[in-house]
Amino acid sequence: MTRMVNCVLLGVEAEGLDYPPYPGETGKKIFAQVSKQAWEQWLSHQTMLINEYRLTPIEPKAREFLEKEMDKFLFGEGSEKPDEFVPE
């Protein structure tokens, strides 16, 4: 049986993730409140941020930036695209 969640990002009941996608309390919060579809949207947005800002995710400052953007994207006011971003 599929696990359903009330997705905080989409505002609807949707299929939940199979496991916490992130460590610690943040991962538990995401697992409980974010749908698979919303998580996929974040992963696409994160990839765009990494590419546009030329981030190296293993660097502590880049990880900190991405964590803040993830929180804004999923639970806050949303994560903005860089001014220079032009979709393909």
Does residue 42 form part of some domain? yes
The total number of structural domains in the chain stands at 1
CB 35 within 8 A of CB 74: no
DSSP string spanning 34-85?
Answer: -BHHHHHHHHHHHHHHHHHTT--TTSHHHHHHHHHHHHHHHHSS-PPPPTT-
Does residue 64 form part of some domain? yes
Would residue 78 be called left, alpha or beta, if left means φ above 0 and alpha means ψ between -120 and 50 degrees? left
Does residue 10 form part of some domain? no
Does residue 46 form part of some domain? yes
Task: Tell me the pLDDT tens digit for each residue of 35-70.
Answer: 999 999 999 999 999 999 999 999 999 999 999 999
Residue numbers of the domain that contains 51: 36-77
Under the banding of pLDDT at 50, 70 and 90, the label for residue 86 is low
What mean pLDDT is predicted for residues 68-88?
Answer: 81
pLDDT higher than 90, residue 81: no
Does residue 55 form part of some domain? yes
pTM for the model: 0.88
Supply the mean pLDDT for the chain.
92
Does residue 3 form part of some domain? no
Does residue 67 form part of some domain? yes
